[in-house]
Amino acid sequence: MRLLFGTLFSLLVAAAVGLGTTYFAITRGAAFGALRIGAWTAWPKTGTQDADPYARAEIARTGRLPVALGDGLMFVARADDRGKRLDGRCEVTISGITPAARFWTLTLYNPEGALVPNSINRYAFTSQEIVRRGDGSFEIVVAPRASAGNWLPTGGIERYMLALRFYDTAVGVATKEGREVPMPAVKTRSCP
Amino acid sequence: MIRWALLLFGGALLGGIVHLATIIILPRTATQDAYSRLAPIAPVNSVVSLPEPTPEKAIMPLMDPAFASAICRYDLSQGPMKLTVPIGLAYTSVSFYTDRDIAYYAINDRSAGRRAIELDLMTAEQHSEMPEDEEITAADRLIVESPTRTGLIAIRALAPEPGLMPMAKRAVDGARCQRTDLAKQSD
């Protein structure tokens, strides 16, 4: 009897630990070789044949087609520079400059990777659309209510993520955090 | 007490094995991966343009709404393929994926350097079987080797502003993918 309980206990622990860590790894992105710059994270190897088993599992589970490294690189932010989760009811600013690339796009998704409905049907900005300051830097306001300048609506959802994709860029597997990759700052300005 | 601690330890160890096993098996058992999602709408060896992603409906998560995209689901078992993509006004790229959605090659309009991206797709086996003389005439053609017999080619053109989306769509609609032997017959 004691043996039976003992085995059962061990198997339960195994299932909880095994499946729990797998779920966590796939939803939070546990692939190796992450490039973290400020609030932004990219997995350059995920867009190549060298994608590790964690990247492969995440790709299969979410059903997305990763951006191939020869095409570009996607950075994701789920929290601001201070680590506060991005909240669609707050006003968040994205400001600064970006690494060299022919084009970039900034898109707002819900945590499942779907676009978020809003009154003006704007889901993204491309590098060509935004209004810049005299020195070439920019500020994008991500907020539920309309705002002057570059406004990216959140639709008031609680959690969202931002994807910043660089196309035709030298940023890749060999890139280290540093001056060549100046990523824009993500700041939560005000919350209701 | 020690007995339970040992059981807990053993369970955690076994959990590690379960974790690694599920991570490795997952791609093989996934039914909602990009290839399976696209297979019903994309007939083999032809280009299908994908509908723009909207909040209500998107064929895949994390699609970039600034791009017009099309897919060619290929099968090389009958022979090599030929791909031609006219270049859009801003940025056009062609990415190659295996049937497990792993990107193995990508090219964009600038690296192609001409008015259209033209290339031949074949398996390593088909490449080595290519006759020598054809290899010479093929010198200026770009040859891409696919690690798998089936896979996906994603053709994407950027619309730098929403108003330019129709032009980007026209660029991807002009893409052709066809078996090389059939393409020769139609010439």
- Top-confidence residue, B97 or B90: B97
Q: Is residue B4 predicted with pLDDT exceeding 60?
A: yes
**Cβ–Cβ contact B164 with A under 8 A:** no
Does residue A15 share a domain with residue A68?
no
CATH of the domain at A99: 2.60.120.600
Same domain, A76 and A164: yes
Instruction: List, for residues B141-170, the tens digit of each pLDDT value.
Output: 789 999 999 999 999 999 999 999 999 999
Q: Quick one: pLDDT band at residue A176, thresholds 50, 70, 90?
A: confident
Q: What tokens were used for B159?
A: 């619309």
Question: Do residues A80 and A144 both lie within one domain?
Answer: yes
pLDDT computed for residue A62 by the predictor: 92
Split at pLDDT 50, 70, 90, the class of B132 is low
d(CA A136, CA B40): 45
Could you tell me the residue range of the domain that residue A130 belongs to? Answer: 33-190
Instruction: Report pLDDT for B43.
Output: 94
Do A145 and A115 share a structural domain?
yes
- B79: closest CA of chain A, how far (Å): 23
Chain A touched by B15 (CB under 8 Å):
yes
The helix/strand/coil state of B32 is coil
Reading phi first (left if > 0) and then psi (alpha if -120 to 50, else beta), residue A149 is in left
Interchain proximity A14–B66, CB inside 8 Å: no
Q: What is the pLDDT of residue B135?
A: 55
pLDDT for res B113: 66
Q: Could you report the per-residue pLDDT of A82-114, keeping only the tens digit for each?
A: 999 999 999 999 999 999 999 999 999 999 999
Q: Does B43 touch chain A (CB under 8 A)?
A: no
Judge: B64–A124 Cβ closer than 8 Å, yes or no: yes
Residues A146, A167 share a domain: yes
Decide if A8 touches B, using CB distance below 8 A: no
Same domain, A55 and A1: no
> DSSP secondary structure string, B18-60?
HHHHHHHHHHHH-SSSHHHHHTTTS-BTSEEEPPPP-SS--SS
Residues of B in contact with A68 (CB under 8 A): 93, 95-97, 103-106
pLDDT computed for residue A134 by the predictor: 92
pTM: 0.91
Measured between beta carbons, which residues in chain B are less than 8 angstroms from residue A71? 93, 95, 103, 106, 108, 156
Q: In the predicted model, is pLDDT for residue B187 greater than 80?
A: no
Together in a domain, A81 and A162:
yes
Residue A22 has pLDDT above 80, yes or no: yes
What is d(CA A125, CA A64) in angstroms, rounded to the nearest whole number? 21
Same domain, A43 and A59: yes
Disruptive mutation site among B2, B3, B23, B54 for chain A (greatest number of A CBs within 10 Å): B23
| Cα gap B4→A173, rounded to integer Å | 45
Please answer whether residues B98 and B146 qualify as being in contact, where contact means their C-beta atoms are separated by less than 8 angstroms.
Answer: yes
Amino acid at A1: M
- Asked if A78 and A130 sit in the same domain, the reply is yes
Q: Answer whether B60 sits within 8 Å of A64, measured CB to CB.
A: yes
Rounded CA gap, A29 and A46, in Å?
11
Pick from A49, A44, A107, A96: nearest CA to A72? A44
With a pLDDT cut of 70, the percent of chain A lying above it is 99
Mean pLDDT across chain A? 92
For chain A positions 47-86, those within 8 Å of chain B (CB to CB) are 47-49, 51, 53-54, 56-57, 59-72, 74
**Identity at B143, one-letter amino acid code:** I
User: Mean pLDDT across the stretch A19-48?
Assistant: 88
Contacts of A22 in chain B (CB under 8 A): 18-19, 22-23, 26
Looking at the fold, whether A79 and A166 belong to one and the same domain comes out as yes
* CA neighbor of B38 nearest in space, from B123, B154, B172: B154
Q: What percent of chain A has pLDDT over 90?
A: 79
Chain A interface includes B23 (CB < 8 A): yes
pLDDT in tens, A53-77: 999 999 999 999 999 999 999 999 9
User: With contacts defined as CB-CB under 8 Å, which chain B residues touch A69?
Assistant: 103, 106
pLDDT at B186 over 60: no
* Cβ contact, residue pair B66, A102, below 8 Å: no
Pairs of CB atoms within 8 A across A/B = 207
Q: Identify whether residues A100 and A127 lie together within a single domain.
A: yes
Say yes or no: A10 and A76 in one domain.
no
Q: What is the pLDDT of residue A66?
A: 95
How far away is chain B from the Cα of A85, in angstroms, using its nearest Cα?
19
What's the ipTM?
Answer: 0.90
Number of domains in chain A: 2
